[in-house]
Every structure is written in structure tokens, then in C-alpha cells.
Amino acid sequence: MAYLRMMYLSVCVCVVASQLAQAAPIQGPTIQDPTSKDPATKDPKTQDPVKMDLLFIVDSSAGVGQRQFHRFKRSMKTTVRNFPAAINKDNVRVAMIMFSDEADTRVVFHLDNTFDKEEIIHAIGHAKYTGNPGRMMGKALGLAKDEVFQQERGSREDAHQLVFLMTTGPSDDPEEVKHRAAELLNNGVELFATGIAIDSPVDKEELSKIVSAPPETHLYILQAGP
């Protein structure tokens, strides 16, 4: 069963990065293993290795704030550190995009920049909060398709491609968001999103329209911690 559906999408990206590093959950599904009822499931040691291209897309706009951006980084580092499949050149590769305004929406590191877990954690930890006005989520999703999930930048045709998007509010380019998300989904990319409610409500409707189906298992709405 495709290695228990990629170890149930690597335990739903480590149970939504330990609830976004201690933000309090207010909405979200219970994580269940869809293969748990299969008595013929093989020992994982006999299965083919997981091949996944994992991309974090993280909001660094003014609406996020330093504290929540630090939580975003902590959640990404926790995910990488505790990922239930090997992070290396042959198995799981990791990339990161940050988005705020037009000028500061960029790829932080590509899938082929490093295959070492500790170097990836180090790169995440050194990502700088921009705090600029603007939330160009659509541009970030476009970078995912045009720059990250490309063979010349380390993406692999036979790997499961997964995006984990983190934001605190609605985008400033909603039409681009819909268009670019549809491109990713049509290319077989699996898209998760987490919205963090801080000073204003998260646009759950916007996020629910861009994540993979069913949204009940791909969209999480959390309340910011103290």
C-alpha cells in the first residue's frame, strides 16, 4: 500500500509539527492511520524506502510577528528532527520558501542544497523574519512549482511531493493563490495548510479551497499560543 501511504504522509507531517510548536488547537482532524485495519500489512523494514520531496512554505509577513515566526521555525525544526523517515539524498529531501511582500517572497533553500538533517535544521534556524507588509502566498506557491519542484533543483519524478504551508491570515493575491495551488495539485503535489489565528481570523475558506482533498485531513486551524 505504497509503504502505508508514505507512512501516512509521515504521520501527517509529524502531527502538524507538534501542533505548530505548542499553538493551541481550535479546529482540526484526529490523525488516524488509514491502513490500521489491513491485517496483511508488511513489516515496515521489508518495505521500499520512503521517497518524498518536502517543502515548507512559511508566512513571514508583518501580521505574523517575531514570536509566531519563531514558533513556525521551531515547528519546522521539530518536524525535520523527528521525521519518521530518513532525511538524506535517497529518501526525504527538504526545501523552504518564505513569503511576505513581493520583494521578500523567496526560496530559502532548495531540495538539493543539502541532504544533511543537521544542516537543514541549521538553515531553518537562521532564516530571518522579514516582517514586511503584504502576504504574497500565490507567488510563494508559484515558486514551489517553478523553482522548487524541478528536477534541476533536486526534485524527483518518483518521489511523493508534499507542501506544508503555514500562515496567519488571508493572502494579498487570492486569484494567484487559486491558480498556483491548482497547478500544484494537478501535478500531483499533496498540499497541507495550517492557519494560525492571531489578531484577526484566518481565512479558512481560502485555505480550504487550495489544500488537497479531503480538506478535513489537510487543513488545520490553530489558536496562537501566549
Say whether pLDDT at 28 is over 80.
Answer: no
Q: Report in angstroms the alpha-carbon separations of 74 from 77, 135, 184, 224.
A: 5, 21, 26, 14
The domains located in the chain, with CATH, are: 12-23+50-223 (3.40.50.410)
Report the b/e string of 42-61 with b at 16+ CB within 10 A: eeeeeeeebbbbbbbbbbbb
pLDDT tens readout for residues 36-86: 444 344 444 444 578 999 999 999 999 999 999 998 999 899 889 988 889
Mean pLDDT score across all residues of the chain: 81
Alpha carbons 133 and 120: distance in angstroms, whole number:
27
The pLDDT assigned to 130 comes to 94
pLDDT at residue 225, rounded to an integer: 61
List pLDDT tens digits, range 14-23. 544 444 334 4
**For the chain, what is the radius of gyration of the CA atoms?**
16
Confidence at 12, pLDDT banded by 50, 70, 90: low
* Model pLDDT for residues 149-171, shown as the tens digit of each residue: 999 999 999 999 999 999 998 99
Cell of 48: 521500499
Distances (CA, A) of 203 to 47, 133, 156, 198, 206: 40, 17, 32, 12, 5
- What is the band of 199 on the pLDDT scale with cuts at 50, 70, 90? low
Query: Could you read off the pLDDT of 90-130 as tens digits, one per residue?
Result: 999 999 999 999 999 999 999 999 999 999 999 999 999 99
- Give residues with Cβ within 8 angstroms of 143, minimum separation 6: 97, 105, 106, 107
Checking if the pLDDT of 1 tops 70, the result is no
